[in-house]
Homo-oligomer: A and B are copies of this chain.
Amino acid sequence: MTDQSYPTALGASSRDAITLLGHDLANDVMGRVGFGELAFWLATQRRPDPGEVRVFEAVLAALADHGFTPTAIVTRLTWLSAPDSVQGALAAGLLGGGSRFLGVTEDCGRFLHEVVAALDADPTGLPTSTEGWDVVALDVVRRQREAGRFVPGLGHHVHKDGDPRTPRLFEIAREEGRFGPHLSLFEAIGRVHPEVIGRTLPLNGAGVCGAALADLDLPLELLRGFALLARTAGLIGQLAEELRHPVANDIFLSVDLNNRPVDPDPLPRTLESTE
């Protein structure tokens, strides 16, 4: 163990100085770098340009809070039960950020990336026209359909006529010159899928966020992480509101007082010794 060392380019400090990503924290980061910009920089070790920051922060805004989601309810109930631990309430809420409610962002980014990476590796390369993307998208939707799988990012249980975040994020990405192949493919899926599926589904906000993050070259393994970062801000908002206008105890009682005792439903013993 004599020469074990742990390399890092993130925070470091000596008696006189603190650096972050190789820069002087006090003089070069504090007061000069916005929080979204810093989060991007920490994740990529590359300082983003203002256009990248604007797209990135638009994604974070889109994902920060959706009202009384399970994660929001969980954070409020956990704080009700353990008001001594803000960190516990936030952590509990984030733990709901898994495959179902926050996972679409990651799933969509990964799904699009697989197609884009295959095109990129192919001698013909990426399409250069709307029609070219439509051909790719049609093939992608058909293959998913034939395999009995959904297309990630397609469909929304509330915004059936269109998720307002989607065209807005397209617009912002275009304004900033960050409308890359993932967004192109996602938009094309929005155009062509009715031909395969027989009806028009909205491109949802979680999905377009995954596409936009992928077009920012952010690591796919961490797309869910950015959704969680956005949600952390939202959960602090939930706690701040709970502090002044509490609802958690009413939620708890609405369940507890409406419990209905039923008889146990024993799992049968089906297996016997094979010897």
- Chain A 155-180 interface residues, beta-carbon cutoff 8 Å to B: 158-165, 167-169, 171-172, 174-175, 177-180
Number of identical protomers: 4
CA distance A67 to B260 in the complex (A): 10
Q: Could you say which interface size class chain A belongs to?
A: 35 or more
Q: Does A194 contact B (CB under 8 A)?
A: no
Minimum distance in angstroms from A28 CB to a CB of chain B: 10
Contact string against B for A residues 231-245, beta-carbon threshold 8 Å, 1 for contact and 0 otherwise:
011101111110111
Q: Is the CB of B96 within 8 A of A81?
A: yes
Q: How far is the CB of A213 from chain B (nearest CB, A)?
A: 11
Cβ–Cβ contact A95 & B84, under 8 A: no
Q: Enumerate A55-107 residues with CB–CB distance to B below 8 Å.
A: 56-58, 60-62, 64-74, 77-78, 80-92, 94-103
Q: Are B61 and A6 in contact (CB under 8 A)?
A: no
Docked Cα-Cα span, A144 to B243, in Å, equals 28
Most B Cβ at <10 Å: residue of A70, A169, A205:
A70
Residue A124 CB within 8 A of the other chain: no
Name the one of B46, B184, B225, B254 contacting A239, with C-beta atoms under 8 angstroms: B225
Q: Is A118 an interface residue (CB 8 A)?
A: no
B12 A259 Cβ-Cβ under 8 A = yes
Asked if A221 is at the interface (CB within 8 A of a chain B CB), the reply is yes
Which residues of chain B have C-beta atoms less than 8 A from A82's C-beta? 87, 95-101, 103
Measured between C-beta atoms, what is the minimum distance from A241 to chain B in Å?
6
User: Smallest distance from the beta carbon of A209 to chain B beta carbons, Å?
Assistant: 10
The 3 closest A-B pairs by CB, nearest first: A82-B98, A42-B237, A46-B266
